[in-house]
Structure 1
């Protein structure tokens, strides 16, 4: 075999690899086939289940109302987006203590996850979160001037996309990325092949409100440098660094909830503020 033929076969194989990567990348980013709906878990009694309508079908949302509303009967709201290997079912038991801190929580399922219709794409996820926001913002028990967006891992992309479409009082990015484009290098592929880039860095660059960035120093899924760059780029950011990996961040929820409550009530971030806590593995 000549060098010309060898190079031809190698180039053809690489182009075929890129083709399959382009076609099937969403199955890697959103592994819905491997994320089943868990059997009925014990959920808080005050949990409300609602459905929102989108162009591709119905999307499920769960609402945890605050147990300590303000004098006017309204409370701040956290719109929460989970990771790509999870469903909303596992989160109410973790987030329920926030209700006792005077915070409401809205959990929005991704299209194609759990019992929700559609397919998980950046466009569909954005549409689902916008529909859920529009449903929640008019609730009489929600303070529309204090709605915060909180995303974990891929959820950071979901809430940044929402922040580009709807107003909010603050942004919480936990173990999330600057964009999905840099991850193309892991697969020896050019960045322009990424179909759902979730350019979080561009959003935080233009975001006018406080940003709380939370990241594990030893994150093996989304490197810590992503969190650092997000915090540096935001106009008003606070970076919380934990000595942990990806799925055990934060190591303990109760201390983090105190930080979260302070962020919501005071509505401000402190640039370059780094808080370190001992490693302690507690998974949601």
Structure 2
């Protein structure tokens, strides 16, 4: 998300003021699809075909551990879903909402690596207008997309909310916070979250206007699940102050991870990232559940 000049903002709001259009101009950058899904005769199961742009880092054996299929959101869009089996008997499945300018094809190798290291399966999906998902990338579609993914994960795989960890990264924190404000789960992880679209474009914004897209700052206080916030202190896209404000507004937070010197796209390269996630999932969550 890049900042807009005052004149550009006025043009956006006056022709006419439409929050979904503002959100689209501020945030969405769907890449050229890096995969395709070929479904069987029933249309319920698919085969994943990755392009070279997906930069797959594993063998065909790992590729076979990935299940793909389509579901429909309540707005009628066809949503591409990916279930990555990373562990034989995992306690948790991570419902991962990825960042901007990527799709689940590009993220597939990362999911394999992350899930195997955390002993968790990972379920992900593409937003409307991303990858093989139909429709347009709009704020209201984001919320419908994650709702469809949540329902598919629960109904298709029989996974209970107490065994689901919601993980949102960057723009993916927007639907994650929205879903977490309405459903309780095992935990919520917010990686480089934003307070709202206006606060990203105009850092001096101190209130949520009616046309402000992605108002996570007003929803996060309704999240009942334990929340881990992760943010790089040198984030050049979503300022560190956003993560701090979200952390302070949430009701049930655990110790956050502020990654010194990390920007927006390199937090995962720091050793404390994986260490903090592993400790949270294997040590803190079981004790929180027991209490």
Shorter-chain TM-score bucket reads 0.7 to 0.9
Q: What TM-score, normalized to structure 1?
A: 0.77
Aligned residue-pair number: 251
Q: Return the alpha-carbon distance in structure 2 between the equivalents of residues 110 and 62 of structure 1.
A: 12
Contact 1:184–1:191 under 8 Å retained in 2: no
Mapping of residues 196-275 of structure 1, within 5 Å: 197-237=213-253, 238-242=255-259, 243-252=261-270, 255-265=272-282, 266-267=284-285
- Structure 1 residue 191: Cα displacement: 6.0
Cα distance change on mapping 1:143 and 1:234 into 2, 3 Å: same
2:23 counterpart of 1:28: no
| Distance in 1 (alpha carbons) for counterparts of 2:89 and 2:112 | 15
Change (3 A) 1:106 1:125: same
Contact kept, 8 Å, 2:193 with 2:246, in 1: the verdict is: no
The gaps in structure 2 that reach 5 residues or longer are 1-6, 35-50
> In structure 2, the residue corresponding to 1:69 is in which secondary structure?
coil
Deviations 1:103-130 (A, max 9, x none): 0111110101111111122221111111
Rounded Cα–Cα distance in structure 1 between residues aligned with 2:10 and 2:243:
33
Supply the RMSD in Å over aligned alpha carbons.
Answer: 3.0
Q: Which 5+ residue runs of structure 1 have no aligned equivalent?
A: 1-11, 271-284
Alignment CA distance shift 1:235-1:48 (3 Å): same
1:19 aligns to 2:14 (yes or no): yes
Q: Which one of the candidate residues 132, 144, 164 is aligned to 1:127?
A: 144
Compared with structure 1, are the counterparts of its residues 222 and 14 closer, same or farther at alpha carbon in structure 2 (3 Å cutoff)? closer
- Residue 21 to residue 262, structure 1, CA distance change in 2 (3 Å): farther
* Alpha carbons 1:62, 1:108 under 8 Å: kept: yes
CA contact (8 A) 1:185 1:191 kept: no
- CA gap of 1:14–1:98, structure 2 versus 1, over 3 A, is closer
Query: Whose relative contact order is higher, 1 or 2, with alpha carbons under 8 Å and at least 6 apart?
Result: 2
Call closer, same or farther: CA 1:268–1:173 in 2, change over 3 Å: farther
4+ aligned runs moved over 4 Å, structure 1: 12-17, 20-24
Q: 1:114 to 1:224 in 2, by over 3 A?
A: same
**How far apart are the structure 2 equivalents of 1:29 and 1:269?**
37
Question: 1:69, CA displacement in angstroms?
Answer: 0.6
Structure 1 or 2, whichever has the larger Rg, is 1
**Is the contact made by 2:166 and 2:185 (CA closer than 8 Å) also made in structure 1?**
yes
Displacement after TM superposition at 1:246 (Å):
0.8
| SS of alignment partner, residue 212 of structure 1 | strand
Equivalence for 2:46: none
Secondary structure class of the residue paired with 2:202: helix
TM-score by length of 2: 0.76
